[in-house]
Amino acid sequence: MSLEAAMERIDILVVGGGAAGMLAAVAAREAARKRQIPDKDCSIVILERNAAPGAKIRISGGGRCNVTHSGTPGELLAKGFLRREEERFLRHALYAFTGSDLVRMLALQGVQCEGRPDGKVFPAAGLAAPDIVRAFDRLMREARISLEASCTVSSVERVGDAFLVITGERRINASSLILATGGVSYPSTGSRGDGLLFARRFGHNIVKPSPALAPIITLVKPPEELAGVSLRAVSFIGSAAGKQASRRGDVLFTHRGLSGPAVLSLSRDIAELFRSAGSCDLFVDLFPGQRTEELQEELLRDAGKNGSRMVRKFLQSCPIAPPDGLSGEAPNGTIPSGLVPFIMRIAGLSDNLQWSGLTREKRVALLATLKRFPAGSVKTVPLDQGEISAGGISLREVNPKTMESRLVPGLYFAGEILDYAGEIGGFNLQAAFSTGWLAGESVKIVGRGQDQ
């Protein structure tokens, strides 16, 4: 048999059966059918390393799967993608396939979704992440997509106008290629950066993968008594070499460092600060809604009324001010009683100090601690433990209106392989679905009836 004869031919080949790859394949079929290309004349195949598709969807949202976020595409872009160039890049995709499109698509497959007051959208009660994957299984069957599982692509190269894709002993000639191999976090789910290597060989620049939505491990472990203590509606701050980044939200002390929404959200900036400065100190502003002078007035007011009150009692009953504009999303907390002894110690105040004994110097120390509670120094922000990874295919080299490579015609990218990173709240899955849809919708479809 000649080499040519041994080569399989596929019209549209998708590498990676995650959220982006599955939607890309489904969208490509829809586009082909719209153009009256019979299914038999346009083969669409997904090659997936794992034994089943959607490994990350299954573990998303702790198994509940926060599929998207309520709101218009503009609202999702503003809330979910804080870096301007990433937001701009994703604009076309999020309008091409919106959160409502996703919810409608899932509902047609019998999976109803419902939004929570904080905007996160989950499958309705009684349903969970596996139901989302099953819905995509059905969609792929309806679209006559062939999903080949336990099939790892080892190399991809350009041959003439097509692509030569190698998996095991098989050599596949693909007219169009969509790389949807994901990021590099949670490598046990199959996403190990293979697509980035393939793209590099095509001449693409890769922005080095870095952690995002990841916990932070501190040089010194938090004291045992603090592990598990959660601070509500505070401002989490990273500071290194004169630069500072902060995020409002909840912070959780863990056995190894810090986690919780504000920490996960800021972890990408913290990792960057840490990388450039070699160290990064972490702080918590317990009263982000009040300037130091306002807080001082509150302390003085209480001290004036209750001179014999113990400072620690005041702290225990003192609500943490809700962040501006976030009331409803982040309910008022109080300073957890577990934190109070640490505040007293760091401010240099004795346990039984009363308001009447608080000198000006001590008051300044207390205010400084409340506005900048030291929460440790970064040891590492683990790339593999992030819900996502930042970095990936440089956005400048991808057409945002089609997801096609600007360097290699017929090559498309979708999902987390691209250099964007969304916030927590369903934004990352929505971006994977939307970029997948746009890539599939835009892919060049020749169809065998047409080109022969």
Ligand X SMILES: Cc1cc2nc3c(=O)[nH]c(=O)nc-3n(C[C@H](O)[C@H](O)[C@H](O)COP(=O)(O)OP(=O)(O)OC[C@H]3O[C@@H](n4cnc5c(N)ncnc54)[C@H](O)[C@@H]3O)c2cc1C
Strands 170-179 and 146-148: unpaired
Backbone φ and ψ of 315, nearest 5°: -60, -40
Binding ligand X by CB under 6 A: which of 105, 212, 429, 443? 429
In degrees and rounded to multiples of 5, residue 222 shows phi and psi of -60, 150
What is the C-alpha to C-alpha distance for residues 26 and 231, in angstroms, rounded to an integer?
43
Task: Give the nearest distance from C-beta 314 to ligand X in angstroms.
Answer: 39
Find out whether 54 and 19 touch, Cβ atoms under 8 Å: yes
**Least Å from the CB of residue 253 to ligand X:** 20
Paired strand residues for 405: 398
Which lies closer to ligand X via its Cβ, residue 21 or residue 288? 21
The distance of Cα 1 from the centroid of its chain, to the nearest Å, equals 48
In the set 10, 13, 14, 15, which binds ligand X (CB under 6 A)? 15
Residues with Cβ < 8 Å from 335, sequence gap 6 or more? 231, 286, 315, 316, 318, 320, 343
Restricting to residues 264-323, name those near ligand X by CB under 6 A.
none
SS3 211: strand
| Cβ atoms 83, 269 nearer than 8 A | no
Binding residue (CB under 6 A) for ligand X from 240, 432, 438, 439: 432
Which residue lies nearer to ligand X by CB, 93 or 240? 93
Sequence letter at residue 27: A
State the minimum distance, in angstroms, from the CB of residue 47 to ligand X: 5
Q: Which residues of 218-248 are buried (b: 16+ CB within 10 A; e: fewer)?
A: beebbeeebeebebbbbbbbbbbeeeebbbb
With CB under 6 A as the contact rule, which of the stretches 13-21, 28-36, 106-114, 358-366 interacts with ligand X? 13-21
Supply the minimum distance, in Å, between the C-beta of residue 362 and ligand X.
44
Instruction: Report the residue count for the chain.
Output: 452
Identified binder of ligand X from the candidate list 56, 232, 247, 371, rule CB under 6 A: 56
Among the residue ranges 48-56, 238-246, 323-331, 343-351, the one whose residues contact ligand X (CB under 6 A): 48-56
Nearer to ligand X, 66 or 235 (CB): 66
Of the residues 86, 250, 272, 387, which one makes contact with ligand X according to CB under 6 A: 387
Residue the block writes with tokens 């809604």: 289
Site string for ligand X, 170-209 (x = CB under 6 A): ----------xxx--xx---xx--x---------------
CB of 145 to ligand X, least distance (A): 15
374: β partners? 283
Is 249 or 288 the residue whose CB approaches ligand X more closely?
Answer: 249
The residues that bridge with 351 in the sheet, in sequence order, are: none
Q: For ligand X, which is the closer residue by CB, 59 or 227?
A: 59
Q: Quick count: other Cβ atoms within 10 Å of Cβ 3?
A: 7
Q: Which of 61, 238, 260, 261 binds ligand X (CB under 6 A)?
A: 61
Contact 185, 211 (CB under 8 A): yes
| Of residues 174 and 375, the one with the C-beta less far from ligand X | 174
Specify the stretch interacting with ligand X by CB under 6 A; choose among 18-26, 262-270, 320-328, 375-383. 18-26
CB 247, min distance to ligand X, A: 18
Does 59 sit near ligand X (CB under 6 A)?
yes
Cα separation, 316 vs 187, in Å, equals 43
Looking at the Cβ atoms of 28 and 318, the one nearer to ligand X is 28
Stretch that binds ligand X, among 267-275, 325-333, 372-380, 426-434 (CB under 6 A): 426-434
CB 219 within 8 A of CB 379: yes
Q: How far apart are CA 68 and CA 54, in angstroms?
A: 16
Judged by CB, which is closer to ligand X: 46, or 378? 46
Identify which of residues 191 and 235 has a Cβ nearer to ligand X in the complex: 191
Q: Which of 87, 416, 423, 441 binds ligand X (CB under 6 A)?
A: 416
In 149-256, DSSP assigns E strands to 155-159, 162-167, 170-179, 206-212, 216-218, 230-240, 243-253
Nearer to ligand X, 15 or 37 (CB): 15
Question: DSSP code of 270?
Answer: H
- Which residue bears the tokens 């509150």? 298
Q: Which of residues 143-172 bind ligand X (CB under 6 A)?
A: 152-153
Give the residues lining the site for ligand X (CB under 6 A). 15-21, 47-50, 55-57, 59-61, 65-66, 152-153, 180-182, 185-186, 190-191, 194, 387-388, 415-416, 426-429, 432
